[in-house]
Amino acid sequence: MQAVLWHEYGPPEGLRLGEAPLPIPKRGEIRIRVRATTVTSGDARMRGFRDPGIFWLPLRAFLGWRRPRHPILGMEFAGHVDALGEGVTEFVPGERVFGMALLGANAEYLTIPAAGAVLATPALLSDEEAAALPFGALAALVFLRDVARWQPGERVLIHGAAGAVGVHAVQLARHFGLHVTAVCSAAAMELVRGLGAHRVLDRATEDFTRGEERYDVILDTVGGTSFRRARRVLAPGGRHVFAAFGFRELRQMLWTALRGGPRVLCGFAGSTKADLHTLRGLVEAGALRPVIGHHMALEEIVAAHRLVDSGRKRGALVLRVGAIPAGFPPRA
């Protein structure tokens, strides 16, 4: 099969499209013919092993000490079930599915546990739209619901509102009854406003830390905010949530937990089947939609990673995988 091969940590030029063995589903697994996948900020960080900080040791242990242990990048996918491992009854061959894997999705075929973060694709989504959902939406759900512990009526500021996490955080916060202020580039303001943000700030010209608005939650999806500066606009009991963090934020999390008042919170995004069910239900109810900013082909993998590295990506960057036979998969 064709796959994006990843044999060394470093710049995008180290990736190449080549042949890899066809994976065979083990007991409890399904094999998926991938029709669409993505390149996320997480993929780019793994590829370059960028800024691992305190996580250097566990990440190296997982990914590989000298070189990547798993030769294929990619987390998000959509396609159809191609083969079933022994004991799988939840899926049938030919069924359209989408989900999120730890690695291996930037390829024509992928195996994943049937009990993992994989579900039948909502009928109203194309494969490209379905592939654009899991990474950003799962992260947004976890950071707002589990880390920030949002409450209806609270005021939330989302920094990096046009990124893969941010576009879903805006929609989720609005749907669950929060007042949403979004920070993004001037070029993305119309997009973010269309997702439901009550107020949109231009990150280049409007400094939210100097304003009079007070926020119960500040969600920094991309880095670049400072608790030292932002604390003046946090309400009593406010939470400054960092999706990307290092030593400084961890020290601040400990210190603010001990002294009371506005707090720093850090956490990790998960990828569970239960949360994917929640997101699928919101999509089917019309409360959440994937946002695709860029369409490319798998063959353009180096250019795709360069774009992610540039910081100019909006929403999801989706890669088409192979030719899609006429009439399959069906779209409602």
Full pLDDT tens readout for the chain, 332 residues: 999 999 999 999 999 999 999 999 999 999 999 999 999 998 998 898 866 566 667 777 777 777 888 899 999 999 999 999 999 999 999 999 999 999 999 999 999 999 999 999 999 999 999 999 999 999 999 999 999 999 999 999 999 999 999 999 999 999 999 999 999 999 999 999 999 999 999 999 999 999 999 999 999 998 888 999 999 999 999 999 998 887 788 888 989 998 888 999 998 888 899 999 999 999 999 999 999 999 999 999 999 999 999 988 999 999 999 854 444 343 33
- Calculate the alpha carbon distances from 35 to 22, 76, 108, 266 in Å: 15, 11, 7, 34
Q: Are 7 and 82 members of one domain?
A: yes
For residue 192, give both structure tokens: 């973010």
The answer to whether the CB of 36 falls within 8 A of the CB of 319 is: yes
- Three-state DSSP state, 270: coil
Pairing of strands 263-266, 292-297: unpaired
Quick check: is 166 in a domain? yes
Q: What H or E segment, with its residue span, contains residue 183?
A: strand 179-184
- Three-state DSSP state, 92: coil
Domain extent for 160: 135-266
Q: Are 51 and 174 members of one domain?
A: no
Q: Are 118 and 155 members of one domain?
A: no
Q: Is 235 exposed, middle or buried (0-12, 13-18, 19+ CB in 10 A)?
A: middle
Quick check: is 331 in a domain? no
For residue 77, give both structure tokens: 């996918």
CATH number reported for the structural domain that contains residue 237 in this entry: 3.40.50.720
Residue type present at position 184: C
For residue 181, give both structure tokens: 């202020």
Helix/strand/coil (H/E/C) assignment for every residue in 294-306: EEEEHHHHHHHHH
Q: Are 160 and 119 members of one domain?
A: no
Alpha helices in 240-330 (DSSP H): 247-259, 273-284, 301-310
Q: Are 125 and 217 members of one domain?
A: no
Query: Which position has the token pair 């990506």?
Result: 313
CA 239/CA 230 separation, integer angstroms: 10
The answer to whether the CB of 189 falls within 8 A of the CB of 178 is: no
Quick check: is 99 in a domain? yes
Domain tally, the chain: 2
What one-character-per-residue DSSP string does 185-249 give?
-GGGHHHHHHTT-SEEEETTT--GGGSS--EEEEEESSS---HHHHGGGEEEEEEEEESS--HHH
Among 250, 266, 282, residue at a domain's last position: 266
Query: Which position has the token pair 């500040």?
Result: 218
- Three-state DSSP state, 114: coil
For residue 5, give both structure tokens: 């091969």
Q: How many CB atoms lie within 10 A of CB 320?
A: 18
| 246-290: pLDDT as tens digits | 778 888 898 999 888 899 999 888 889 999 999 999 999 999 999
Q: Are 109 and 140 members of one domain?
A: no
Q: Are 87 and 72 members of one domain?
A: yes
Q: Are 77 and 193 members of one domain?
A: no
Q: Are 139 and 129 members of one domain?
A: no
Quick check: is 274 in a domain? no
Q: Are 162 and 145 members of one domain?
A: yes
Quick check: is 329 in a domain? no
Residue type present at position 170: V
Q: How many CB atoms lie within 10 A of CB 199?
A: 14
Q: Are 144 and 197 members of one domain?
A: yes
Per the document, the length of the chain is 332
User: What is the rounded radius of gyration, in angstroms, for the C-alpha atoms of the chain?
Assistant: 20
Q: Are 140 and 122 members of one domain?
A: no
CA 300/CA 315 separation, integer angstroms: 18
| 201-232: pLDDT as tens digits | 999 999 999 999 999 999 999 888 899 999 99
Half-sphere exposure at residue 102, Cβ-oriented, CA atoms within 13 angstroms: 9
Q: Which residues pair with 239 in a beta bridge?
A: 217, 263
> For the whole prediction, is pTM greater than 0.75?
yes
Quick check: is 210 in a domain? yes
Q: How many CB atoms lie within 10 A of CB 209?
A: 15
Quick check: is 271 in a domain? no
Quick check: is 230 in a domain? yes
* CA 85 distance to own-chain centroid: 28
CATH number reported for the structural domain that contains residue 117 in this entry: 3.90.180.10
